[in-house]
Structure 1
């Protein structure tokens, strides 16, 4: 059986890039397209939610979400994502990648629709229902991380594996961009349908009843790409590496691979197979000393780097609207209707996605198999640190009207080097450096640590970034350290990410089995078994 496995795995590594590789990128990537849309579209509508449900009648000032409600609405999906990454990561190794792959999409479809249909007789009940559905939406999104990364890494050949996994992850950029575009279209359509009195100070006059439809439509559109992808996910065969190395069925792996990759390979039965007990004895578990010895520091490196990266990345992404308002790039809420405010926020975030997010993702796709994972991650953390400090140290300089364009350019560059850097590599490397039987689990652990960082960013930055303005304190926000000091903290976090990158190995140009030593294990087992089988034969 060991020889069959080696033949199958070598054929995978040597297979030419074919149509099915690109099909797999689209199938797995549409999950990430949906993930990004669902996670980040909420930042487009949080201010609208405050206006709709927390504007006090007769008060001219537009309503805002209370701090605890804003925290819950923004961060609850990340809590669900963390749980989903751990659960589906473990399940993907126990039951196989394909068997649980469709379930994540079904969760996303149902919960995206449920989020848009959030009901209740009071603002609290509507927000509670929204949080319930967004938690389970996040749970489904969480499962997509370890499963998509593992499936793509196990289908790819060793020469272009990094680019294929990066291309799957790069679909996040298009999901983020689409969220902004959908918000622009929906808000523009409703704004044209309802012409509020021009820029009245009275918030009630600038809050048409149709505004409640705006956020619901934006949220529910996220169900469409997930629903369209479900059928194709169910048609995907199990990955050959899982079938050969974990399920120990090289014949089935060869048949599955031949169907989708058009590789003519027939696995023949061997007369002697390695006893199952012998194979199990050599298959160390996640909490074993052998795993700690071989992969312990690697797991610490991938998990910590992802944790630190996501504190910075999600803080920037979720609260860029607050930063833009602070530097005066977005008008004050009192000067806009509720729908116009959604339009302005969506326009700003769409511009950042076009200029910083998407180019960074695709630079990674182009260069990761040339420069390597380690170099790109180190470079990304370095420039993120530099640009954060460049924004933070002369912060008051950027608040001047004539300097705002410069702020936007540097702010976009931090997104560019996040994506042409650790935001991509932290997703790729855990899918390559761990054994097949633990690959999905270890990726899920690393990703969950990343989402723990996102939770820190979502909950912590909201409070930390508040200025010492008494008006904000009176509104229920505790005194914060201000945006300048928050940016300084994020720069320091990026610097620590650079240091922990030193624990992560380079995986460029190596097969998965070279990185994990699984071929060596199987070969040693075959040799030992053959020796024991022939040792009792007496020559005539």
Structure 2
């Protein structure tokens, strides 16, 4: 064996005759515990939080969450004292910018339902009575837009796993920019020709919108996790918040679209929102409303080209470990083999959710007409929708704050959200005349708005997160894109079905999709709340090497498996003590490999390429440098003299990632 230089006392015995735990002194044991059993997931006795009895689990989680909340508030106060605007800039840098693409697509995508009543009022012969326009093309406004989204979700999901996250993000922004230019300039020699141009522009724009889903989810999640073998508290405690904070920009996009449409109509319609609406004011209103996000999307292209150069970093690490250069087809096959139930859960629940979410958005004018039946102006409907979006935003933010809570988290949030949507639709469905009568219209309105709140504070936020989170890195974008595409089939289902049934019949049909979402979530969706995502990558390594039985970590803890997986015996290998010993062996093995690489250097300099194969060793190097004072505190590196016969190792070159405790 090569001589790796000085090592810590009681260094690893490589003979394989006894446990590495026997080699540890007390300080080493504490050092390993701080990384392998961090205090946010383990008790001082080394018990994983999910293994605790219920009351102790509640006490442990509440105590640590309160401590973390105080720490974060203290950090915010310290930032505010130094610079009152620094918390705002931090929010924009870490939440707004990662979700800018979703904010822009939310602005445009949901404007279709908002603009439809304006077109119907300004161009009644085309959009209302279909006298001069083909009704098939009018109906295809919703159909082709959703078809474009489905194409984008599948296509860009594969591209994101094949070429990289960064190029997928850039491609999305460019497609959306060109689509917005087409929408703004859409024209035809007849009104029917204009509609055809408008529809195909929406289809093209929809391809970029579809790609935003897998790219924003995967890049945001992998940015939260970071690189290296040892994870951080940011991943364990705030991964869900980071991703959903980007996703909720979709809600702000809807809000600003509705607000800007109201302002533009007042500007171009002589300060009045009442009919009749001239064709000129309608054209200016909708075209300027599309030109505004085009400017933002142009900036997004620049930002992703020049400011997101490391977006594909973790994918590159995973491919280097697996020695894959193109698309990882082996990982796709293994995903189908081991995670088929998760595909059913993520795709099926997204389908059920989009019947709710997109159905309501595409046809919200008809629902609001029930609330405000006396007015022929579009302004009351727009104002009610603005209120509805405001209620939804409250749901988005509450989901972001609670999605990482170990006692509630992803799975319960989605189950309760689906269940509440079921209740709020099934009650008026069988008492429609009662709740739509003037004296009870407020109750109907409250249930409709609350269904929007629980849709965001539930399945709409959770499906976006877990469709990326429950799958391994090499196929994460593909799996997310597939689930999102199946979800858009639910939106397409709603778009087709809602054209042929009455408003009351919609309330008869929709609730059962909420109930189906409850069942699918309960049976097939694992709960990844509090799970260190690096543990899932560790398990994936064993699966790739056909050693499923050798993995004993938290990724196969019953808490983090679905009911379907538990019934199939997936969690039978979980063993906390064996997992601890295994991690110690892995970390020490990585340390030995790193020292061997450094010993091979002849020139006295350390090249980054030695750690390019995954940056696995960089974290371990940092760990030992911090926890082995005999090596790094007392024996500083000094360049060897020309007459020195003893070869000394060069100083370690640390990577950018730090191990945060």
Closer, same or farther: CA 459–523 of 1 in aligned 2, 3 Å? closer
| Structure 2 partner of 1:103 | 171
Mapped pair 1:293 → 2:337? yes
Mapped pair 1:133 → 2:201? yes
Using the TM superposition, give the Cα deviation of residue 212 of structure 1 relative to its aligned residue in structure 2, in angstroms.
2.1
Provide the C-alpha distance between the structure 1 equivalents of 2:375 and 2:133, rounded to a whole number of angstroms.
16
Provide the C-alpha distance between the structure 2 equivalents of 1:159 and 1:240, rounded to a whole number of angstroms.
22
| Structure 2 partner of 1:368 | 403
Provide the C-alpha distance between the structure 2 equivalents of 1:331 and 1:144, rounded to a whole number of angstroms.
40
| Structure 2 partner of 1:348 | 384
| Structure 2 partner of 1:306 | 350
Closer, same or farther: CA 64–40 of 1 in aligned 2, 3 Å? farther
Q: Deviations over 1:180-208 (max 9, x none)?
A: 10111011112225898xx6xxxxx6535
Provide the C-alpha distance between the structure 2 equivalents of 1:194 and 1:408, rounded to a whole number of angstroms.
26
TM-score normalized with structure 1 length = 0.77
Q: What secondary structure is seen at the aligned counterpart in 1 of 2:120?
A: helix
Mapped pair 1:322 → 2:366? yes
Mapped pair 1:500 → 2:520? yes
Q: 2:536 aligns with which of 492, 495, 515?
A: 515
Q: 1:407 aligns with which of 429, 444, 456?
A: 444
| Structure 2 partner of 1:377 | 414
Provide the C-alpha distance between the structure 2 equivalents of 1:122 and 1:95, rounded to a whole number of angstroms.
42
Mapped pair 1:434 → 2:480? no
Provide the C-alpha distance between the structure 2 equivalents of 1:328 and 1:298, rounded to a whole number of angstroms.
39
| Structure 1 partner of 2:313 | 240
Provide the C-alpha distance between the structure 1 equivalents of 2:109 and 2:513, rounded to a whole number of angstroms.
22
Closer, same or farther: CA 296–218 of 1 in aligned 2, 3 Å? same
Cα contact 2:114–2:382 (8 A) shared by 1: yes
Q: 1:36 aligns with which of 92, 103, 106?
A: 106
Cα contact 1:53–1:63 (8 A) shared by 2: no
The structure with more helix, counted as a fraction of residues: 1
Cα contact 1:52–1:212 (8 A) shared by 2: no
Cα contact 1:46–1:65 (8 A) shared by 2: no
Provide the C-alpha distance between the structure 2 equivalents of 1:331 and 1:103, rounded to a whole number of angstroms.
46
Provide the C-alpha distance between the structure 2 equivalents of 1:365 and 1:65, rounded to a whole number of angstroms.
44
Q: Deviations over 1:430-470 (max 9, x none)?
A: 11111111000000000101111111112221222xxxxxx
| Structure 2 partner of 1:483 | 503
* Larger-Rg structure: 2
Closer, same or farther: CA 124–208 of 1 in aligned 2, 3 Å? closer
**Mapping of 1:82-481 within 5 angstroms?**
82-156=150-224, 157-192=235-270, 206-207=277-278, 209-234=280-305, 235-236=307-308, 237-248=310-321, 276=323, 284-286=330-332, 288=333, 290-325=334-369, 327-333=370-376, 336=377, 341=378, 343-355=379-391, 357-370=392-405, 371-464=408-501
Closer, same or farther: CA 283–328 of 1 in aligned 2, 3 Å? closer
Q: Deviations over 1:271-309 (max 9, x none)?
A: xxx8x48x99x98332x3x33331011001100110111
Closer, same or farther: CA 82–494 of 1 in aligned 2, 3 Å? same
Q: Deviations over 1:303-354 (max 9, x none)?
A: 01101110121111111111221x2515443xx4xxxx2x333212101111
Q: What secondary structure is seen at the aligned counterpart in 2 of 1:323?
A: helix
Cα contact 1:29–1:168 (8 A) shared by 2: yes
| Structure 2 partner of 1:538 | none
Provide the C-alpha distance between the structure 2 equivalents of 1:22 and 1:121, rounded to a whole number of angstroms.
44
Q: What secondary structure is seen at the aligned counterpart in 2 of 1:120?
A: coil
Deviates more, 1:158-167 or 1:79-88: 158-167
| Structure 2 partner of 1:47 | 117
Closer, same or farther: CA 314–208 of 1 in aligned 2, 3 Å? closer
Closer, same or farther: CA 44–330 of 1 in aligned 2, 3 Å? farther
Cα contact 1:42–1:219 (8 A) shared by 2: no
Provide the C-alpha distance between the structure 2 equivalents of 1:483 and 1:439, rounded to a whole number of angstroms.
38
Q: Deviations over 1:135-187 (max 9, x none)?
A: 01000011110010001111112221011111111111111111110111011
Q: 1:26 aligns with which of 96, 99, 115?
A: 96
Closer, same or farther: CA 208–194 of 1 in aligned 2, 3 Å? farther
Using the TM superposition, give the Cα deviation of residue 247 of structure 1 relative to its aligned residue in structure 2, in angstroms.
3.9
Cα root mean square deviation, aligned = 3.4
Closer, same or farther: CA 34–405 of 1 in aligned 2, 3 Å? same
Unaligned runs of 5+ in 1: 1-6, 200-204, 249-273, 465-481, 532-540
Using the TM superposition, give the Cα deviation of residue 524 of structure 1 relative to its aligned residue in structure 2, in angstroms.
9.1
Cα contact 2:125–2:133 (8 A) shared by 1: no
Cα contact 1:54–1:64 (8 A) shared by 2: no
Provide the C-alpha distance between the structure 1 equivalents of 2:154 and 2:343, rounded to a whole number of angstroms.
14
Q: What secondary structure is seen at the aligned counterpart in 1 of 2:188?
A: coil
Provide the C-alpha distance between the structure 1 equivalents of 2:503 and 2:124, rounded to a whole number of angstroms.
25
Aligned length: 456
Closer, same or farther: CA 389–163 of 1 in aligned 2, 3 Å? same
Closer, same or farther: CA 283–44 of 1 in aligned 2, 3 Å? closer
Provide the C-alpha distance between the structure 2 equivalents of 1:414 and 1:402, rounded to a whole number of angstroms.
21
Provide the C-alpha distance between the structure 2 equivalents of 1:513 and 1:206, rounded to a whole number of angstroms.
57
Closer, same or farther: CA 442–21 of 1 in aligned 2, 3 Å? farther
